[in-house]
Amino acid sequence: MTEKLLIRVGQSQQEPVNWLIWSESDTQIIASGELEHSGLIGELTEKAASRSVALLLPASSVQLKQVELPTKWSRKLERALPFMLEEQVASDIDDLFIAIGNPVSFDDKHFLNIAICDLQWLTDWMAVLSDFDIEPAVIVPDALLLPKPEENALSAIQLQQQWLFKGANWHISAVELDWVCDYLMLAPETELTHYSPAQDLATTKSLQSKEAEYDLPLAIFAGGLNELPINLRQGPFAAKKKQPQWWRDWKAGVIAASVALLAFVSVKSAQLMMLQNEADEYKAQAMTVYKQAFPNKVVRPHLLRKQIQNELAALSGAEQSGFLELTNHFVSIYGQVSDFAPETFRYDRKRNELRIRAKAKGFQVFSQVKSILEQRGMSVQQGALNNDGDYVIGEIRIRGAA
């Protein structure tokens, strides 16, 4: 983006808010203005939509420090930084936001440039901008964007009822008009480079006027954004990664499809669980029948099918083949009939007849078993049926070829 929107806020949300649109390509002001208070920032929402936004904080609310380090700066020292500062600040260190700038060295000593401000104060300002759909790419104290001063000099500009100063070695100040003379008297620099008229300043310092560069303060600050010394858009205020346009376009559809897929998988999982439970029941019934048919055999559940096949193969053509054939037909009903449990088996070899005494939940279950066996070509006779509490007890005779 070649155009930038600069928004300069005050210490409180009731103070005026200055704004300026700067053309980077033409190096000129496109528009500027002042809002009476933060509640009117919504007037800048449309202007911010297509431009890079810089939030300028008042220098009076941001403290710059150079922290001496025991060794060269590394990310391992970042966790220890609050402990290094604890005795240098008046506030509770947990209430402060610490932004990390560039490491520097002087006389073989290592330092780290940092900026400190009240955490809740900056959080509140970010919430105000968010409420009006404005997301700054840059957050920086205003005076830090003044042109870099010469050695032993201060850069200065007047903004509203304050003078802003920038010195060497990571130093900025915001001074009320009534205190400017006292401030300049105590400042060690001997020269003052000013970007606003300074004829009212009573000072012994050498004044260097940049009259050819006189401009609105925010226009001067816009030039400083090209060599940004620090950006407070970090840590808890780091910019969130923007979602790609295709995701914003398809987000609703993808979410709906995901919900539908999740519901489908849930239903199928429930059905699979029910089928698995039924399979376990049928397996248990098959094991019961196998134990009754072969009481001296050890049942191996995972090999049950193979065991039955082996027994049938071993007995094929023997005297017991008729019994096994009838039993095989009888076992087939378990996949089709529920609540039916045999109690005794009796086999008449001469008549090739299998008599089963069983219990079921109702009379109709016996009729269902009889019908299934007849469909398999068996001759079936149903004996007397009697109620026994919640169950019906009865006998079924299955006859094969004599």
Of 210, 237, 264, which closes a domain? 237
Q: What is the pLDDT of residue 204?
A: 87
175 within domain boundaries:
yes
Instruction: Based on the fold, state whether residues 223 and 89 are members of the same structural domain.
Output: yes
Instruction: Based on the fold, state whether residues 232 and 356 are members of the same structural domain.
Output: no
Instruction: Based on the fold, state whether residues 273 and 307 are members of the same structural domain.
Output: yes
Q: What is the pLDDT of residue 321?
A: 60
Of 283, 316, 349, which closes a domain? 316
29 within domain boundaries:
yes
The helix or strand, by DSSP H or E, that contains position 247, with its residue range, turns out to be helix 245-293
| CA atoms within a 13 Å half-sphere pointing along the CA-CB vector of 23 | 7
Q: How many folded domains does the chain comprise?
A: 3
CB 192 within 8 A of CB 208: yes
Instruction: Based on the fold, state whether residues 229 and 375 are members of the same structural domain.
Output: no
Q: What is the pLDDT of residue 382?
A: 85
7 within domain boundaries:
yes
Q: What is the pLDDT of residue 114?
A: 94
- Which stretches of the chain drop beneath a pLDDT of 50? 317-319
CB 342 within 8 A of CB 289: yes
Q: What is the pLDDT of residue 398?
A: 86
CATH of the domain at 326: 3.30.1360.100
Maximum Cα–Cα distance across the chain: 135
Q: Which of 55, 19, 56 is nearest to 36 (CA)?
A: 19
State the pTM of this model.
Answer: 0.61
Q: What's the rounded Cα separation, in Å, for the pair 352 and 262?
A: 56
Q: Which amino acid is at 124?
A: D
Q: What is the pLDDT of residue 345?
A: 79
157 within domain boundaries:
yes
DSSP string of 169-203?
TTEEEEEEGGGHHHHHHH---SEEEESS--TT---
Instruction: Based on the fold, state whether residues 326 and 312 are members of the same structural domain.
Output: no
Domain that holds residue 203: 3-237
Q: What's the rounded Cα separation, in Å, for the pair 378 and 34?
A: 100
Beta carbons within 8 Å of 307's beta carbon, 6+ residues apart: 290, 297, 299, 300
88 within domain boundaries:
yes
CATH of the domain at 16: 3.30.420.380
| CA atoms within a 13 Å half-sphere pointing along the CA-CB vector of 3 | 12
Instruction: Based on the fold, state whether residues 293 and 173 are members of the same structural domain.
Output: no
242 within domain boundaries:
no
Instruction: Based on the fold, state whether residues 292 and 341 are members of the same structural domain.
Output: no
Instruction: Based on the fold, state whether residues 266 and 212 are members of the same structural domain.
Output: no
Tell me the residue ranges of DSSP E strands in 61-181.
63-69, 96-106, 109-118, 138-141, 153-159, 162-167, 171-176
Instruction: Based on the fold, state whether residues 276 and 330 are members of the same structural domain.
Output: no
Instruction: Based on the fold, state whether residues 102 and 7 are members of the same structural domain.
Output: yes
Q: What is the pLDDT of residue 379?
A: 86
Q: What is the pLDDT of residue 318?
A: 45
204 within domain boundaries:
yes
Instruction: Based on the fold, state whether residues 36 and 76 are members of the same structural domain.
Output: yes
Q: What is the pLDDT of residue 51?
A: 93
108 within domain boundaries:
yes
Of 237, 257, 276, which closes a domain? 237
Q: Which residues pair with 138 in a beta bridge?
A: 54
Instruction: Based on the fold, state whether residues 46 and 137 are members of the same structural domain.
Output: yes
Beta carbons within 8 Å of 278's beta carbon, 6+ residues apart: none
